[in-house]
A and B are shown apart, each in its own frame.
Chain A
Amino acid sequence: MTDYFEVHERDGAARVGELRLAESVATPALVDDVDADTAGAVHTILDDAGSRWPAEPDIPEGDDGAVTILPHRGLPAGTPDEVAEAFADDYPDVAFPSGAVVSPTSAGDHPADISVLSGAPGYVGYGSAFVDALTTVKDAVPADTALYLPGVATPRNVATLVYAGVDLVDPHRAVVRGTEGRYLTTDEAYFLEDLGELPCVCPACQGPRDAFDRSDCVEHNVYALAAELARVRRRIRDGRLRDYIEGQARQDNWLTAAVRIMDQRYGYVEQRAPLIRRAELAAATEDAIRRVEIQRFAQRVTERYVPRFDDRPLVLVPCSARKPYSDSQSHKQYHDAIQWRAHVVSMTSPIGVVPQELELTYPAQHYDSVVTGEWSANEIEFVARVLERYLEGADYPEIVAHVPGEGYREICERVADSLGREFTYTVRDHPTTADSLGNLAAELKGWDTYRKSAREHRTIRAVADYQFGAGAGDELFGDIGTQGRYPQLRADDADGEQLAALAQQYGVLSLTTAGARRWVDSDVPTKTVEIEPFIPHGSVLAPGIVEASDDIRVGDEVVVTGEAAFGVGRAQMHGAEMNSSTRGIAVQMRHTEEL
């Protein structure tokens, strides 16, 4: 139960929040002991009531100007489990802002506003130990507890610490390094004496180089840490921290290891990754293939999406830089040749394959990858695997590969070989040459065109599969009519009542209450937020929630139901977070009906 911390925005495990003390502090924040005289920009709001190892400290009185860290037995890294358990602290529920010191073995549902992860100096520097400790603690403590990782932050590592889920850091390590004559930047820990020129213009670095001493170095280090945190807060608000991390983590190998290990232990990041984002997704490194948004798209296309055009030829085309693909010059030319006679699926790195109905769906419309013309072995491997799995679930009578030579052709040949299928290749030189387009059109000769309504209905159904589960499109939208002009489609039932609209910006469906009732009445697993008997207007706050489905992700459609109201909205937290939080907006409501 926290009264003093609230999460406002999320970007994966990273969050922007607020410590609601006498003076509000935006997190991720640089916090220090109340009596510290640290030079630079820190919030002096931590009041350590003391360690219980040497003596039993007095019970602190606390006040709302600071977070009181309750008397504790800190457990350094390497503390054997038996010892950690034997000396585990019990924390009282107090009426002032408080912090509980926890370790991976002792973390639990403590009634505190912040959790202080002890032993961090032993974990930081080792990707796997760090991820183990952090994810264990994050999974054990309530989601709306701020996580404080003490004694380890530097300008170089802090972005990755926050990316992993840390909300509070202190300047202690940056100060100590400064006293040691180490000049910290986001890329290095330079020996001060090796720097002929200072690569910074913070207030501490304004004077002449030969007057710059270790005390200035301390001050600079703290400024550099504060500046990096401000950048990270901005990145979280923009939903673009991961893009930054893929570059920044390269500055120290253990940071890159930590990011990759989190990708490998998919569950922790998947639970926290939003279904949709407004922001662009930059695919600029090999790590981009492993990020949740990419893996999730590939997984849903191959496991949830039901091919409904596989009674006619498949045309595989290369992706375009412009999104959605259908707006691009090249895709318009392919379309002129295809003329709704075949199903179009785009091949792309790093997304894999994008059926035409899902071209708007995040991140298909939002990614931008680095194009060199050369494909890496990993890209080829990944896209080939996705294409192969996609084709295994479909039954096309004919496969036309309208793809250029580089990469695309190799992938097609590999998959054709593996599946024992014949692909027809229609490109000479380049996909948009008259010859190539002529070949493509000729290959489809004899096939009729499908109707606009079929295209629109199937688009709604495909997005429903993607969003709600395999077969949901037929289950929920089997008998619909569509209104509007693509991409602004609406789905109505047989009586003309609206069920859903396609949100053009994200390529997902926004349900009406009629749509939500269909979802509840269907066999498709419903993501439900059960609330206390009240009528939510605008939003549902976490304390009003009785129970939420565990599989809810940020951005998911959710049915909100209680004795007094039925409605539908978009999740702002993941399900477990809704269940364990006591503050914050959980659902942004779209439609509410009084019962």
Chain B
Amino acid sequence: MSKPSPDVYEQGKGMDAHNAVMREVRSRNDSTYDPREPTRVWLDEDNTPDGVYQSLTIILNTGGCRWARAGGCTMCGYVAESVEGGSVAHEDLMAQIDHCLTHEDENAEDPSGLIKIYTSGSFLDEREVPARTREAIADTFADRDRIVVESLPDFVEDERVGDFVEAGLETDVAVGLETATDRVRHDCVNKYFDFADFEDACEAAREAGAGIKAYLLMKPPFLTEAEAVEDMKSSVRRCAAVDGCHTVSMNPCNVQRYTMVEELYHDGGYRPPWLWSVAEVLEETADEDVIVVSDPVGHGSDRGPHNCGECDDRVQRAIKDFDLRQDPSVFEQVSCECEATYEAVLEREHSYALPLAR
């Protein structure tokens, strides 16, 4: 398995260039954050292999992703939410967890059956979250049903995942695979690992008694709308074929601050995907043996996935409906005049003239 050490991930000149640019772009951000507060926390509903659960989603502020400090992914602005100094102490992390429990107490009638913890990095990386913090968090949520923790595939190891499995939780590791196509993951996203590493992580998770939830990114920079749709269809199918990967969360790219995607967007060289593309992929891959969900962030806005402005809310509702029911017929009930524009874009957009429509 490849390791995210600088000597490896800076081998290729494309990667060097991406990293150099991303370091420069990120350096323009001078905000810092309180290490005793989580980046975000919210309540929602989620579809899992055991049905739909109320979920508590926690974006833990752990000091951020080490890959992002080397430069990192072209679309990811979450590193902007890191703390000064780069690491967060055990006590501070536990204070963040307390903060989230208070939020849940105040906003939900019952405790959530599903806990989801993201770090904008790797929860299972012990340089981000020390072993004793991980054990304490497993302990905190031992009375729930399911837990999802985010990690790069490198850190999916038996003993780390085991903390949660042994606490009696149905455990999933959320892996930001982005795409099953190595070339796109490397050259467009600038993420260093390979699909084979993801397959290894699924294997390791399965052996530890856990599952994998793959996160896919629809339409990284440099792809046409049609290429992005094809990339997602094939990625969903390839994920579905990997044992241990029972859920795919396919998310349209949005324009985050202090990223290369934002540079392109600013100069008129990037448009987030159409919501029609999300619908198309969900509809086309509905018969795959995997749960596929999507949560278009910032839908209907210029910086988020959008259609013409008239139909965005309707298509978004259909997508959310599909997430819970996995029924492709939800998309038959939405239509709009802008489908003709979308079709023309699929047909006529070339990578040398991006984007063809706003």
Contact = CB atoms under 8 A, between A and B. Distances in A.
Are A and B physically bound partners?
Answer: yes
Interface of A: 33, 36, 48, 51, 53-56, 69, 72-80, 82-83, 85-87, 101, 116-123, 125, 129, 150-152, 170, 172-173, 175-176, 179-181, 214-215
B353 A74 contact: yes
A175 B349 CA distance: 11
Contacts of A76: 221-222, 264, 267-270, 354-355
Contacts of A53: 183-184, 187-188, 222-223, 227, 351
A381 B161 CA distance: 80
A48 B20 CA distance: 31
Contacts of A120: 353
A55 B269 contact: no
B135 to A, nearest CB: 42
A79 B357 CA distance: 18
Contacts of B308: 180
Contact of B183 (A48, A54, A69, A118): A54
Nearest to B342: A179
B26 to A, nearest CB: 13
Contacts of B20: 82
A151 B224 contact: no
B201 to A, nearest CB: 23
B181 interface: yes
B231 A181 contact: no
Nearest to A119: B269
Interface stretch (B9-17, B90-98, B295-303, B318-326): B9-17
Contacts of B267: 76-78, 122, 129
B30 interface: no
A72 B269 contact: no
Nearest to A78: B267
A112 to B, nearest CB: 13
Interface string B252-293: 000000001001111111100000000000000000000000
Nearest to B340: A179
Contacts of B227: 51, 53-54
Nearest to A125: B268
A120 B345 CA distance: 16
Contact of A55 (B181, B266, B348): B181
Given A77-B264, A78-B270, A116 B352 contact: yes
Contacts of B183: 53-56
A121 B354 contact: yes
Given A76-B221, A78-B265, A80-B263, A150 B352 contact: yes
Given A83-B18, A175-B344, A118 B337 contact: no
Contacts of B344: 172, 175-176, 179
Contact of B352 (A54, A78, A101, A215): A101
B356 interface: yes
B269 A151 contact: no
Contacts of B335: none
B350 interface: yes
A207 to B, nearest CB: 19
B264 A78 contact: yes
B183 to A, nearest CB: 6
Nearest to A38: B348
B298 to A, nearest CB: 19
B340 A214 contact: yes
A116 B267 CA distance: 19
A86 B14 contact: yes
Given A86-B14, A86-B17, A118-B352, A54 B269 contact: no
Contacts of B349: 151, 172
B1 interface: no
Nearest to B345: A176
Contact of A179 (B13, B341, B351): B341
The 7 A-B pairs at the shortest CB distance, nearest first, are namely: A151-B353, A76-B269, A78-B267, A122-B268, A74-B351, A86-B17, A74-B352
28 contacts: A51-B351, A54-B184, A54-B231, A55-B181, A69-B352, A73-B351, A74-B351, A76-B355, A78-B264, A78-B266, A78-B270, A80-B260, A82-B21, A83-B21, A87-B14, A87-B17, A87-B187, A116-B352, A119-B354, A120-B353, A121-B354, A150-B350, A150-B352, A151-B350, A151-B352, A151-B353, A179-B343, A180-B308
A57 B204 CA distance: 34
Contacts of B265: 78
B222 to A, nearest CB: 5
Contacts of B352: 69, 72, 74, 101, 116-119, 150-151
B338 interface: yes
Nearest to B188: A53
A54 B266 contact: no
A80 B263 CA distance: 8
Interface string B181-205: 1011001100000000000000000
A77 B269 contact: yes
A74 B337 contact: no
B311 to A, nearest CB: 13
Nearest to A32: B348
A214 B336 CA distance: 13
A181 B337 contact: yes
Given A54-B230, A118-B354, 4 more contacts: A48-B350, A76-B269, A151-B353, A151-B354
B352 to A, nearest CB: 4
A106 to B, nearest CB: 12
Nearest to B227: A54
Contacts of A117: 352
Contacts of B230: 54
Contacts of A152: 353
A439 to B, nearest CB: 64
A54 B185 CA distance: 9
A118 B354 CA distance: 8
A53 B186 CA distance: 10
B340 A173 contact: no
Nearest to A48: B350
B356 A121 contact: yes
B353 A78 contact: no
A104 to B, nearest CB: 12
B269 to A, nearest CB: 3
A14 to B, nearest CB: 21
Interface in B1-34: 13-14, 16-18, 20-21
Nearest to B14: A86
Contacts of B348: 33, 36, 151, 170, 172, 175-176
Contacts of A173: 356
A178 to B, nearest CB: 8
Contacts of A118: 351-354
A217 to B, nearest CB: 10
B268 A78 contact: yes
Interface in B215-257: 221-224, 227, 230-231
B268 A74 contact: no
